[in-house]
Amino acid sequence: MDGTGGAAIIDGKAFAEGLRARIGAEVARIKAAHGLVPGLTVVLVGEDPASQVYVRNKGKATEGAGMKSDTIRLPAGTSEADLLALIARLNADAAVHGILVQLPLPGHIDEAHVIEAIDPAKDVDGFHLINVGKLHTGMKDALVPCTPQGCLMLLRDALGPLDGRSALVLGRSNIVGKPMASLLLAANCTVTIAHSRTRDLAGECARADILVAAVGRPGMVKGSWIKPGAAVIDVGINRVPAEGGKTRLVGDVAFEEARAVAGHITPVPGGVGPMTIACLLRNTLIAACRSAGLPAPAI
Ligand code: GUN
């Protein structure tokens, strides 16, 4: 609580800045000690405007951490065979420690084929089946998807150990919902996954000490659904119309209502969003250290 009767705000922006600074310091250290410069290559196919912004931000953050950043932009008409050939080249390039193919891909390319072509050791998105399986079976060397990893770090920072808490993950995507549930289970939470067919969503939410909302529906989670004192992590980034013909970003949670009930809550923007890129840098650093036989830094 923040003294005004509302939830404590989880400042993901500040946490992500701290994490990026620690990553930058570690990159400088391994560069000086071992001559190792972590390298991330991002591949963008087509001209989707949102993807262009994400890719630009990833490139800037990578350079900001002192890593080598490369962005390969390909035309929307690129064939699947040409994209797979590029990935094979990147897999074989020892200076490339992380490969990220920005999604969504144009409809004529099979995303699963592309993800499975990436060397699992360079799969900094954590989407390859090897990394999915490692996460699911509790193996410590999984590369973990960035957004759920960021949510877990914020929860641990706010709450300490999560053992025994009931957690509800709202959403079952491969990118957020399912890996989030695996991470919370590995952290000894009692985990429920809810989705569009769940019968009593409000009742499921009311039982949750931890609620992670990742459905992409603006303001869907109402304050009245939330267990008093719960930690609410809002992964939604929804653009909605605002005054003056403008737009603004809102989460999946009705923030003001939820804030009055919850113990902790992430804002949108400035909550989970900044953690995704910070965790991408973290995965790239981990992948680079492993490739050189160095222990992965504990950050
Ligand atoms: N598109 C939207 N989010 C992501 C992400 O986390 N990784 C990739 N590769 N593409 C995305």
Q: Give 124-159 pLDDT, tens digit per residue.
A: 999 999 999 999 999 999 999 999 999 999 999 999
CA dihedral 66, 72, 73, 79 (to 10 degrees): -150
Beta strands at 39-45 and 238-241: parallel, antiparallel or unpaired: unpaired
- Is 82 an active-site residue? no
Query: Which residues, at least 6 apart from 293, have a Cβ–Cβ distance to it below 8 Å?
Result: none
Strand order in the sheet with 210-213: 8-9, 264-265, 231-234, 210-213, 166-170, 190-194
Decide yes or no: CATH 3.40.50.720 for domain 145-273.
Answer: yes
Determine whether the shortest distance from the Cβ of 103 to ligand 1 is under 6 A. Answer: yes
Mutate to test the pocket of ligand 1, among 52, 58, 100 (most ligand atoms within 8 A of CB): 100
- Is 58 an active-site residue? yes
Q: 3-state DSSP call for residue 288?
A: helix
pLDDT band at 33 (very low <50, low <70, confident <90, very high): very high
Whether residue 77 has pLDDT greater than 90: yes
Query: What is the percentage of the chain residues whose pLDDT exceeds 70?
Result: 98
Q: For residue 203, how far is its CA from the centre of ligand 1 (angstroms)?
A: 31
Q: For residue 276, how far is its CA from the centre of ligand 1 (angstroms)?
A: 9
Q: For residue 175, how far is its CA from the centre of ligand 1 (angstroms)?
A: 8
Closest CA to ligand 1's atom 4: 103
CATH class of 32-120: alpha beta
d(CA 253, CA 230): 13
Determine whether the shortest distance from the Cβ of 204 to ligand 1 is under 6 A. Answer: no
Tokens of 286: 């981990």
* Model-wide pTM > 0.85: yes
Q: What is the pLDDT of residues 86-120, one digit of tens each?
A: 999 999 999 999 999 999 999 999 999 999 999 99
Active-site annotation holder among 11, 123, 125, 252:
125
Fold equal for 32-120 and 145-273: yes
Active-site annotation holder among 11, 102, 209, 252:
102
Whether residue 41 has pLDDT greater than 70: yes
Average pLDDT over residues 243-257: 97
Token pair 């659904």 is found at 225
Question: For residue 120, which amino acid is it?
Answer: P
Q: For position 62, what pLDDT does the model report? A: 98
Determine whether the shortest distance from the Cβ of 123 to ligand 1 is under 6 A. Answer: no
pLDDT band at 221 (very low <50, low <70, confident <90, very high): very high
Query: Which residues, at least 6 apart from 210, have a Cβ–Cβ distance to it below 8 Å?
Result: 155, 159, 162, 165, 166, 167, 168, 184, 189, 230, 231, 233
* Adjacent-strand bridge partners of 39: 68
Whether residue 4 has pLDDT greater than 90: no
Query: What is the percentage of the chain residues whose pLDDT exceeds 90?
Result: 97
Domain regions of the chain by residue span: 32-120, 145-273
pLDDT band at 58 (very low <50, low <70, confident <90, very high): very high
Q: What is the pLDDT of residues 190-209, one digit of tens each?
A: 999 999 999 999 999 999 99
